Amino acid sequence: MNELGQAWEDLACRHLHCAGLELLARNFRTRFGELDLVMREAGVLVFVEVRYRARSDYGGAAASVTGSKRARLGVAAEQFRQQHPALAGLPCRFDVVAISGRQPNPRIDWHRAAFDLGGN
């Protein structure tokens, strides 16, 4: 990951931590894709995709999470759950943190339960 991408992920992580989520893993990689952040909110396992777009053309950052990207995230999430059996029984959701604009005042839009893969 490049330095700028890491900075946006750091910002998203701090934002979610301040909202009460606990960080469990960062940049969990599989051959199918990567989970940017894996967090827990109360008894829910939260898989977070962080997206940044300087401009909102073509729907902005949140719209950039396509159907194929959601499918890859679902496979990666299932692999995470298999590798962490103590967490596998928790209900889960997929959130998107969409960041737009530029420093020093970017806009952060947290989309809870942004999509559902059914059965997760």
Cα 116 to chain centroid, rounded: 13
**CB 117 within 8 Å of CB 70:** yes
What integer best gives the mean pLDDT of the chain?
87
Residue 120 lies in a domain: no
Rg of the chain over Cα atoms, rounded to whole angstroms, equals: 14
Nearest alpha-carbon partner for 107 in 119, 99, 95, 117: 99
CATH number at residue 62: 3.40.1350.10
Domain count, the chain: 1
- Pairing mode, strands 44-53 and 92-100: parallel
**CB 3 within 8 Å of CB 20:** no
Work out the number of other CB atoms within 10 angstroms of the CB of residue 119: 6
Print the domain residue range for 54. Answer: 3-114
Nearest alpha-carbon partner for 78 in 20, 114, 38, 22: 38
pLDDT of residue 58: 56
Residue 119 lies in a domain: no
What would the pLDDT profile of 29-47 be if each residue is shown by its tens digit?
A: 999 889 999 999 999 999 9
Q: What is the mean pLDDT of residues 13-36?
A: 95
Residue 82 lies in a domain: yes
